Amino acid sequence: MSNAIKLYRHPLSGHSHRVELMLSLLNLPTELVFVDLANGAHKKAEYLAINAFGQVPVIDDNGTLISDSNAIIAYLAKKYGSGSWQLQDPITEARVQRWLSVAAGQVAYGPAAARLITVFGASFNADEVIARAHALLKVIEAELSDSPFLAGTEPSIADVANYSYIAHAPEGNVSLEEYPNVRAWLQRIEALPGFVPMQRTVAGLHAS
């Protein structure tokens, strides 16, 4: 797999899944490299040499190293995408940029943080991050009332950036029951050719 893009990731990381999903939607040959977060592999010198922030994911595109999930999916769409993945229209591009900021902000500090508590034992205030998640979901629910995808009529990297943690929000005790538009949007993404799911955990609302 010499021409495959190497993806350094952890299977339970939504940031990693964004990139795995983008690679799969673009039908790009990929070699998955497991980074053992539990044993601190991401903080060792060898890994810090490819990402000084010590985070997953990182891609190695035949010698080109890129880190930060949103930066990676933007790069992949630009380099390998066509149609809606390659944005030409400045208004759509601005909409997408807004949702990339949401993915790095409200999603990270809402549903992603809530899931970090249940899946990874993080010490956030559960009530606070769950409330933040619902505030965000209410906005997304309203915006999806007149648009099938976050940035318009076609799927874009905005959807890829926001999908993973919203789809897995119930693992952090954030119910999606009151958000039919959000659930329909998740299903539209899951129906895209090349969709790959993120590994589920039996945490939060999925705990039996």
Query: Letter for the amino acid at 51?
Result: N
| pLDDT > 70 fraction of the chain, expressed in percent and rounded | 96
Per-residue pLDDT averaged across 33-38, rounded? 85
pTM: 0.91
Domain covering 5-81, topology: Glutaredoxin (3.40.30)
| Contact between 162 and 103 (Cβ < 8 Å) | yes
How does pLDDT run across 112-169, given as a tens digit for each residue?
Answer: 989 888 877 777 888 999 999 999 999 999 999 999 999 999 999 999 999 999 999 9
Q: Establish whether domains 5-81 and 84-206 are of one fold.
A: no
Looking at residue 103, what is its pLDDT? Answer: 96
Q: Can you tell me the distance from the alpha carbon of 35 to that of 82, in angstroms, rounded to the nearest whole number?
A: 30
Question: pLDDT tens-digit profile of 49-82?
Answer: 898 898 899 999 999 999 999 999 999 999 999 8
Query: How do residues 44-55 score in pLDDT, each as one tens digit?
Result: 888 888 988 988
- Taking alpha carbons only, the member of 161, 173, 164, 175 closest to residue 202 is 173
Alpha-carbon distance of 66 to 48, in angstroms, equals 13
* Cα 11 from Cα 202, distance rounded (Å): 14
Domain ranges of the chain: 5-81, 84-206
Label residue 203 by pLDDT band (50, 70, 90). Answer: low
Fold of 84-206: Glutathione S-transferase Yfyf (Class Pi); Chain A, domain 2 (1.20.1050)
